[in-house]
Amino acid sequence: MQQIQLTENIYYVGVNDRHTDMFENHIELPNGVSYNSYLIVDEKVALIDPVEANFLEDYLFKVKSVLKDRKVDYLIINHDEPDHSSTVAAVLREYPEVQVVGNAKTFAPLEAFYGPIENKKVIAEGETLSLGCHTLQFFMLPMVHWPESMVTYEQSSKIVFSNDAFGGFGALNGGIFDDQVNLAFYEDEMRRYYANIVGKVAMQVVKAIEKLSALEIKMIAPSHGLIWRSNLAWVLGKYTQWSKQESEEGVVVVYGSMHGNTARMAEIVARGAAEAGIKEVKVYDVAKTEVSFIMSDIWKYKGVIIGACAHYGNMFPNMTLLVHEINEFKPKDKCYATFGGMSWSGGGVKTLAKYAEEGKWNLVTESVEVKGAPIREEDWDKLYNLGKTVAVAVKG
């Protein structure tokens, strides 16, 4: 079996998941995802971050193909979440003498998931662990994105095993390293991962980047996605941009429509934004596009225009999750506007106004509510000007 090496005696033993439909059972995975794990073979052997349990057989095969008859001395747990840790119990059965290495906050959740762990080693900020020629050093990254999150730095090879930081969706299609693939695809999947997994704790990510900047880094090896060895400045720049929420010039128009009238309004709004000079206008039907893709573009672009028809005195049901996610993740530096349709009773625009107030959205113009279809010139003008006003705010 061909083995994948990051450097001499450091191996990639991760797996691809092309079968799971929904990450964490709510985020679509049309392109799959990888679960990355790493093996350092020295006088002592360290296994860094195991994988998701459905891939146990393939995972252990890869580990054993490298180790042959050797045992694993240390199992490093950078993060407790089950997509990383759900093979922990199986690894302990396979290698009963292994020491599980984590920080003071690692073991309570880990044992809640998998039962008591007898042979554990609790490490502190900056502490080192010698494997022989390789030395591991540990740095805490709390809330990136769980309280126990940390990274492991291997001092001789200058590799950061970065946990969820710098990771992304998308299975690894033959290329494991950043210089083996077209980065455009992985950039979109990284941003979608960031916007829906890590974005809520953006300030902690900024602090993490600042902490890691003190290290000499030649490679970044995350728990999902590509291993970064040639484009470190690029990926660090993207993460800095996203974590500081530096928006690009563009407008996202999202609508929820039962009978097509609010959809027609969205087209008018988008036209107003485009004719005001916005070249990146993204129009989404919230009933057709899963929320994680919309959130990714909301994170990317400065303008956000949301339209919802009325539904039993409230708003179009599918819109509820999106506005909840906006208020939960709080993307900053945005110019918002809202619109919607009604027939015998309103509710869509009124409900959006409640979410806007709760989330302290920067509304740059008054809402537009249309009764019936947008067939009156007055309604058409209001919708067109709403899109234009947001565009001007974005450009200004």
My answer on whether 13 and 77 are in the same domain is yes
377: phi > 0 → left, psi -120 to 50 → alpha, else beta; which?
A: alpha
The CATH number assigned to the domain holding 284 equals 3.40.50.360
Residue 213 pLDDT: 85
My answer on whether 27 and 173 are in the same domain is yes
pLDDT of residue 1 exceeding 70: no
Question: Which structure tokens are listed for 200?
Answer: 């809520």
Helix-then-strand count for the chain, H and E: 12, 23
385 DSSP 8-state letter: H
Give the dihedral of Cα atoms 352, 282, 244, 291; nearest 10 deg: 60
Give the other-Cβ count within 10 Å of 375's Cβ.
10
Domain containing residue 263: 251-391
Domain boundary among 213, 243, 273: 243
Question: Which structure tokens are listed for 175?
Answer: 């290329």
My answer on whether 238 and 267 are in the same domain is no
Band of residue 374 on the pLDDT scale cut at 50, 70, 90: very high
Type of residue found at 82? P
Q: Which of 198, 223, 213, 225 is nearest to 329 (CA)?
A: 198
My answer on whether 81 and 162 are in the same domain is yes
The phi and psi torsions of 156 (rounded to 5 degrees) equal -75, -40
Residue 198 pLDDT: 87
* Least reliable range by pLDDT among 60-64, 106-110, 196-200, 290-294: 196-200
What pLDDT digit, counting tens, does each position of 336-362 carry? 999 999 988 889 999 999 999 999 999
Q: Any alpha helices (H) in the chain, and if so which ranges?
A: 56-67, 82-85, 88-94, 107-114, 183-193, 202-212, 232-243, 261-275, 291-300, 318-329, 348-359, 377-395
200 DSSP 8-state letter: G
My answer on whether 299 and 239 are in the same domain is no
Question: Which structure tokens are listed for 270?
Answer: 């988008």
Give a yes or no: residue 396 inside a domain: no
CA distance 82 to 64: 22
Band of residue 288 on the pLDDT scale cut at 50, 70, 90: very high
Domain boundary among 198, 213, 243: 243
Residue 210 pLDDT: 86
Between the alpha carbon of residue 171 and those of residues 51, 162, 220, 392, the distances in Å are: 14, 18, 17, 39
The number of distinct structural domains making up the chain is: 2
Give the other-Cβ count within 10 Å of 108's Cβ.
11
Question: Which structure tokens are listed for 53?
Answer: 């349990």
The CATH number assigned to the domain holding 227 equals 3.60.15.10
Residue 44 pLDDT: 98
Kindly state the greatest CA–CA separation across the chain: 78
Place of tokens 């019936």: 372
CA distance 391 to 252: 10
* Overall average pLDDT of the 253-278 stretch: 98
Residue 65 pLDDT: 96
Residue 200 pLDDT: 84
Q: Which of 283, 278, 256, 249 is nearest to 267 (CA)?
A: 283
pLDDT of residue 2 exceeding 90: no
The phi and psi torsions of 250 (rounded to 5 degrees) equal 175, 165
Mean pLDDT of the chain: 95
My answer on whether 239 and 265 are in the same domain is no
